[in-house]
A and B are shown apart, each in its own frame.
Chain A
Amino acid sequence: MSFSNLLMKSGLNHGLRGTPATVVLISTRQGHRLRGKPPGVARTLEQRLREETVTDPEVVARINIGFPQLKESRSAQLKTRLEHLKMQRANKQLEQLARSQKLIIDLDKVQQTYVQTTGQHDLRLLADHYGIFEHLYGSAYFVPRVPLSISYELGGDTLTPVYNGNVIKPAEAAKTPLVSFDGQRDPITGKSAAGQDSYWTLLATNPDAHYTNPSAECLHWFIANIPNGRVSAGQVLAEYLPPFPPKGVGYQRMVFVLYKQQAAMDLSSYQLASSDYSNLEKRTFSTLEFYRQHQEQLTPAGLAFYQTNWDESLTEFYHDVLNLKEPVYEYDFPKPYLADQKFFPLKQPFNLYMDKHRDEKQLNKEYLQRKLAKSHPFDGPAKPLRFPNAHPIKDVPSWLKTEIRKQRLGTGRIQDY
């Protein structure tokens, strides 16, 4: 039987007639069948997932709502750059430093050139990584053409700058930040357009802060009609409200977006009364809705954002400023999947199996009662044993032995009570 699997004779009749018999040997593996398609033909999980989540490129196409950039001529740029590089190569001092591995370049100068050259595109990629455009503008995006410099003042000469995604604690972000940008700079050409008056709008929102509507944002700061980059001369529509990430929610994003206005605008409908400073309902905001209404007059030009999470300074802030009881959240892990309970669960420890399927409240009650029964009303709970495994456990079934051992060592459910 097994031999017939290994050998398949063909041309037997020919062999009888005297022609050379050809025996084809086909090897088969007993007891092993290839499940599914053979490797090479079968697609990987990655390929299958990609095919399943296929999207229409026309539907998900994204729109650039920012400023275009007028590049200077490549030949002129190359000319100055090559000249500069030639000078660098001829610099004996620089060569000496480089060869002795002591060359330390100026990071501030790198940053300065970077934000004016490739940094804008890199910031756009990073903002996408942080989901900024998706949650603020839906399917639109922009390339931030105007470098924004925002920093919070700490005591003394220390500043906490806002870059793109760094973590700043609420205690550091309590005061109104210093904002500066080059208001005379034309975002398209990148050159200074002095003489012409330009107006700007600065908006700070938090897309993760809304308590009731997950798709809404919380407005933290709104300044309109900033003339020529002088932020202090702008029209403050909403005073600065510090971030207040609740305990347990994790890291929220605070996003500063700078818009360039066509001309001075009347945005007084967004004016927040000083009595509504801490009214979170009034501070509900939707950047997409705002942009839709004013897209003829406004163009996003600058972006900066940071992440922030809970710290102790917020307890006071919740009580004094927001007049709220401080909320505490915890990440809601998905509950474990349990198969339906069986009448006769085979190979399962009966006590653990029953505990998994019992009413949680009843279980908690029993554990607590057992704990309280052992603790003295005045002296508190009994002292833990010094060598918990050294005391013999006698005359009890083995499952109870295990339970007592677990209790003494403090492993398992006992830790929750």
Chain B
Amino acid sequence: MSRSARPLTSARVLHKIKALTTPQSNEGFVVNRNPRNLERLRIAYKPSGYHLEKPGRSYWHTLEINTSGRYVSADVKHYENGVILSASTAEWAIKQQLYKTNDTSAFVNLGRVLAHRCLQSGITEMTCNVDAVAGSKLQKLLQTLQDNGVSFKEPTRLKNSQPWDAYRQEKPWEVSEQSIPATPLQTTATKSKQK
């Protein structure tokens, strides 16, 4: 019985998929265990959510803002790990310098603090499903975040192009960084002597 005449069973399909995804033993390979690496390279799985769902859940990181009667807090959420970064005007570190914890100044300063923490933790791209009225303090918070180096556009997932596809996608890791000068994260920090 030839192979093509053999009935296709799920076991055979699974066997074929396993053979395709395991690396050949004669090929040299390394494993990068950094869980955030594939997200940075735009290869990692990203949930697509449901077609008519609002707000969508297609993101790696997203911004969430909660306002209460007295305080305002902004969190960065990961689709699997939940809240990973947060800042709130209820925090003593921020509150002690504010006049009021939910006025426009508080919103703007919260944006500055969260942007600073985002830059420190290397998470600068996230989606934002917050609807803000133009000119509102919420909108000013979002604007401050963007002005301080946080981008509300997350890149799309990079699909592997097959040989028979019409077009090839540019792979981000093949783009030469020669043209882009390496810039330090913080513009200039004052020099401190080692103790």
Contact = CB atoms under 8 A, between A and B. Distances in A.
Interface of A: 81, 84-85, 88-89, 91, 94-95, 97-99, 101-107, 109-114, 117-119, 122, 125-126, 128-131, 135, 149, 151, 153-154, 157-161, 163-169, 171-172, 178-180, 183, 207-208, 210-211, 214, 229-232, 246-253, 306-307, 311-312, 329-337, 339-343, 352, 355-356, 406, 411-413, 415-416
Contacts of A157: 188, 190-191
Contacts of B108: 101
B105 A211 contact: no
Interface string B36-68: 111011010000000000000000000000000
The B interface, classified by DSSP as helix, strand, loop or mixed, is loop
B171 to A, nearest CB: 8
B182 A311 contact: yes
Contacts of A161: 185-186, 189
Contact of A252 (B34, B83, B93, B184): B34
Interface in B1-46: 3-4, 6, 8, 13, 16-17, 20-21, 23, 29-38, 40-41, 43
Given A253-B34, A332-B29, A126 B109 contact: no
A220 B166 CA distance: 45
Interface of B: 3-4, 6, 8, 13, 16-17, 20-21, 23, 29-38, 40-41, 43, 78, 81, 83-86, 91-100, 103-106, 108-109, 112-113, 116, 119-123, 160, 162-168, 173, 177-178, 182, 184-186, 188-192, 194-195
A242 to B, nearest CB: 14
Contacts of A331: 41, 43, 173
A180 B194 contact: yes
A30 B131 CA distance: 44
25 contacts: A88-B96, A101-B104, A101-B105, A110-B93, A114-B93, A117-B91, A122-B85, A125-B83, A128-B81, A129-B81, A130-B35, A157-B188, A165-B36, A166-B185, A180-B194, A208-B33, A210-B30, A229-B195, A251-B36, A307-B122, A333-B160, A334-B20, A337-B16, A341-B3, A355-B163
Given A131-B34, A151-B189, A250-B32, A103 B98 contact: yes
A166 B96 contact: no
Contact of A416 (B40, B112, B163, B166): B163
Contacts, number: 231
B175 to A, nearest CB: 12
A334 B93 contact: no
**Which are the 8 A-B pairs with shortest beta-carbon distances?**
A98-B99, A163-B120, A165-B122, A113-B93, A333-B160, A103-B105, A214-B31, A114-B93
A105 B184 contact: no
B2 to A, nearest CB: 8
Given A97-B105, A103-B99, A250-B34, A159 B191 contact: yes
Contact of A180 (B36, B116, B192): B192
